[in-house]
Amino acid sequence: MTSPEQLSIPWQNLLEALPDGTALIDSHGVMHYVNAELTSLTGYTHDELVGQNVQILIPPDLRAMQGEARRQYARHPDSRIIWNDRNLTVLQKDGTERPVDFALSPLVLDGVRWTVGSIRDNSVQRAAEQARIEAEQHFRLAFEDNMAPMVFTDLEDRIISANDAFCAMMGRTRSELIGFDSKPFTYPDDVGITEASHARFLHDEIRQVRYIKRYLHKDGRMIVVEVSKSPARDKTGKTLYFIISERDITEERMLTAQLSHQALHDPLTGLANRALLDDRLEQAHSRIVRQGGQGALLLLDLDDFKGVNDTYGHLVGDQLLEAVARRLEGVTRATDTLSRFGGDEFLYLAEGISGADEAEMIGERFLRSLDEPFVIGNLSLEQRASLGVVVWDATTAELLNVVRDADVALYEAKRLGKGRQFVYVPGMHHQVINRFSLVQELRQAIASGELAMHYQPILRLSTNEVVGFEALMRWHHEQRGWVPPGVFIPLAEQSDLILELGAFALRESIVAAGEWGRSKDSLSEPYVTVNFSARQFHDPGLLAMIKEELDASTLPADRLIIEITESVALLEVADTLKLIEQLTGLGIGVALDDFGTGFSSLSHLALLNPMIIKIDQSFVRPAIESIHSDRVLETIVSLGHNLGMTMLAEGIETEGQLERLRGLHCSLGQGFLFSPAVPFAEAAMMVGTTF
Ligand code: C2E
Ligand code: MG
Ligand code: MG
């Protein structure tokens, strides 16, 4: 056998020139020649390697592989083995491993079989490979495991790849998605959106588009998604596929829709609210201006609704409002708008009206819809309404006027006795009370002396002798003439203005009664009864004010009687009671006004324990006409007597009524039969007289 040392050298030079670390190995695996590259790849010197078995260069865990390589080589001794696809390493002298590719080639020299083994450092490729694997893992994390639904689609919108979140959102498996375009599971109206987005990428260099699209879940429900779509482009800028990330905004959308519904609807009745009605009104108006025709606005206000709240509490009040809303809704046209205008007011907008007659027919339907009593729990409540109607067309200059005019008409309906409608007559707002300016005018009325107290005599029925007066407020408006307290008192009660009016009534009455008393002997000194609003009872300065007025006058406290109606809120009953105790402590009397009209008369009676009960005129008037109401009157009077209270009958208009009341031993009375309320001077002349 020829040893390598004996070989002539040219191929040795050749081996040195090779870029790979190379060894000439005999059939036992012993290296007979190594080139310099091999020494530098392994860290051994030339002499340390030559004569050694190649085993020393093979890491222990790869030795089995060496066996396999040898066997493979042995089976095909003339073929080459190149292993560059495995994680092979060479064991260096210092014990560390270096990643390499590996090749074995047969070589026959002088009939002797050698093997040329070569290794090539591939750490750079390995690192690149590792980076690729990591990138793939990152991609998995970013795509497959992303919480956000993601898909890749081709240029024809076919799904190439979809992540779990996307599958879950759509309720479909990958095999139901991949390879298909999105049309079958896109909400029909939105099918064109995808193509439109592609077009945007084609025409300009946009990197991302966002749009809202609706899908159909496998179960048929609609899903709203926000789509972010980016093209994956090659170096030349050509789009290869699309990367799409989505966000399910279905719930958000529903919430927004709900919120905008809430913003435009009254939470209690679900009807349109004022904002929505204003908007519709404006739209209707511009349609009328463009196309002609007429519109109608109907303002409906529940009559004496406050009493329900005061008597039964707000819960029942709310239920009644809801029930009223449903009745009204039942007679409306789908194209018109019924809204709750606040409190107990409803505003109805009707378009395409032929004129006032048609508007009135609608109004009549509304009023009739309230005819039947409302059943709330075990209560049966009557609830009527008044209606102001306005018809307008393109010539109506300002829209605001339309609402104001409806209000003017409504007040006219109330003034004419409630439970009815009134159609606005152009120009009438100059004559009738306009709620918008009324409060303002009322303020001025106090200062300008338009308000006055009138006094209606109260008589002892057994003798017809005048024993006192009820003070009733009068407003003589410069242009409008007499404005009834039934109109302006409820308005004043909506603000603190009632406190001013209340103070005015009290001051005037105390001064007046003081004057009458001075002119008479103390036995016939008349008392004065002053009406109080519930709101005055919540005025913390009330007691001090009454004391002050009494101190400044000559009127003894026991000649002053405060009238409280049932509208005194039972809700704040503790406060009211405390105040009444303080008043009676000062010697001031309390009368319960309009007894019998409220539903809680008896509970009020027990709580307030008034000195006088004023029987409402509705019980007095029909007394002799019906046996039934006569019984009611009789019952009320005997009830008061049993409780030790003084009974006073209001609204006595006929001798018959007077006789009946005398028969029942009702001690006091007032009414047109004797006298209406008259100015101070006239009242003064009645003091001590007998009718
Ligand atoms: P009220 O306290 O029940 O007053 C009795 C009402 O009946 C008065 O109406 C009086 O003019 C009227 N009246 C008297 N006799 C008869 C009669 O024989 N037949 C008929 N049909 N009516 C009669 P008025 O003056 O219009 O007052 C209405 C309501 O306004 C009063 O009812 C009272 O609740 C309120 N009011 C009047 N003045 C004041 C005030 O100074 N302060 C407050 N808070 N309320 C007042
Ligand atoms: Mg009264
Ligand atoms: Mg009364």
Mutate to test the pocket of ligand 1, among 414, 472, 501, 561 (most ligand atoms within 8 A of CB): 472
Spacing, Cα 308 to ligand 2 middle (Å):
20
Spacing, Cα 472 to ligand 1 middle (Å):
6
| pLDDT above 90 as % of the chain | 43
**Is the pLDDT at 525 greater than 70, yes or no?**
yes
CATH of domain 146-254: 3.30.450.20
Summarised one tens digit per residue, pLDDT across range 41-79 is 999 999 999 999 998 999 988 887 777 777 777 777 777
Summarised one tens digit per residue, pLDDT across range 581-606 is 899 999 999 998 888 776 556 767 77
**Is the pLDDT at 453 greater than 90, yes or no?**
yes
Q: Following DSSP, what letter does each residue of 375-439 receive, concatenated?
A: EETTEEE---EEEEEEEEETT---HHHHHHHHHHHHHHHHHTTSSSEEE--TTGGGTS--HHHHH
Helix ranges restricted to H, 45-163:
46-49, 63-75, 123-139
C-beta atoms surrounding 667 within 10 Å: 21
Spacing, Cα 518 to ligand 1 middle (Å):
27
Spacing, Cα 585 to ligand 2 middle (Å):
22
How sure is the predictor about 519, in pLDDT bands with cuts at 50, 70 and 90?
A: low
Q: Which atom of ligand 1 is nearest to the CA of 650?
A: 15
| Cα pseudo-dihedral 621, 457, 489, 652, rounded to 10 | 0
In the prediction, which pLDDT does 668 show? Answer: 97
For residue 610, what is the enclosing H or E element? none
Spacing, Cα 502 to ligand 1 middle (Å):
14
Comma-separated ranges of CATH 3.30.450.20 domains in the chain:
4-123, 146-254
Top-confidence residue, 368 or 523: 368
- As a whole number of Å, the CA-based R_g of the chain is 51
Spacing, Cα 618 to ligand 3 middle (Å):
10
How sure is the predictor about 436, in pLDDT bands with cuts at 50, 70 and 90?
A: low
In the prediction, which pLDDT does 10 show? Answer: 72
**Domain 265-426: CATH architecture, name and number where available:** 2-Layer Sandwich (3.30)
Chain centroid to Cα 673, Å, comes to 56
**Is the pLDDT at 623 greater than 50, yes or no?**
no
Comma-separated ranges of CATH 3.30.70.270 domains in the chain:
265-426
Q: Phi-psi bin for 89: left (phi > 0), alpha (psi -120 to 50), beta?
A: beta
Least confident piece of the model among 115-119, 162-166, 404-408, 623-627: 623-627
Summarised one tens digit per residue, pLDDT across range 462-471 is 999 999 999 9
**Domain 4-123: CATH architecture, name and number where available:** 2-Layer Sandwich (3.30)
In the prediction, which pLDDT does 566 show? Answer: 65
Ion ligand 3: protein residues whose beta carbon lies under 5 Å: 593-594, 650
Summarised one tens digit per residue, pLDDT across range 369-385 is 999 999 998 889 999 99
Top-confidence residue, 415 or 31: 31
**Is the pLDDT at 348 greater than 60, yes or no?**
yes
In the prediction, which pLDDT does 3 show? Answer: 56
C-beta atoms surrounding 561 within 10 Å: 23
The token pair that represents 96 in the structure block: 């560390």
Q: Average pLDDT, stretch 493-501?
A: 86
DSSP-derived 3-state class of residue 230: strand
Q: Are 88 and 101 in contact (CB under 8 A)?
A: yes
User: Which CA distances in Å does 505 have to 141, 446, 547, 569, 685?
Assistant: 82, 11, 15, 21, 20
Is the torsion defined by CA of 162, 166, 167, 172 positive or negative? negative
**Which residue owns the Cα nearest ligand 1 atom 8?**
472
Q: Average pLDDT, stretch 431-447?
A: 74
Q: Which atom of ligand 1 is nearest to the CA of 456?
A: 14
How sure is the predictor about 131, in pLDDT bands with cuts at 50, 70 and 90?
A: confident
- Which of the ligands is closest to the CA of residue 595? 3
DSSP-derived 3-state class of residue 458: strand
Pocket of ligand 1 (CB under 6 A): 456, 472-473, 484-486, 489, 505, 531-533, 563, 565, 593-594, 617, 650-653, 670-672, 676-677
> What class has domain 438-686?
alpha beta
Name which of 271, 381, 398 is nearest 332 in CA terms.
271
DSSP-derived 3-state class of residue 149: coil
Mutate to test the pocket of ligand 1, among 473, 531, 536, 568 (most ligand atoms within 8 A of CB): 531
Summarised one tens digit per residue, pLDDT across range 297-317 is 999 999 989 888 888 888 999
Summarised one tens digit per residue, pLDDT across range 208-229 is 888 889 999 998 888 999 999 8
**Which residue owns the Cα nearest ligand 1 atom 7?**
651
**Is the pLDDT at 442 greater than 60, yes or no?**
yes
**Which residue owns the Cα nearest ligand 1 atom 15?**
671
In the prediction, which pLDDT does 568 show? Answer: 58
Spacing, Cα 679 to ligand 1 middle (Å):
14
Top-confidence residue, 431 or 144: 144
Spacing, Cα 614 to ligand 2 middle (Å):
8
Enter the pTM of the model. 0.50
Identity of the amino acid at 216: L
- Rounded to 10 deg, the angle between the 435-447 and 497-518 helix axes is 40
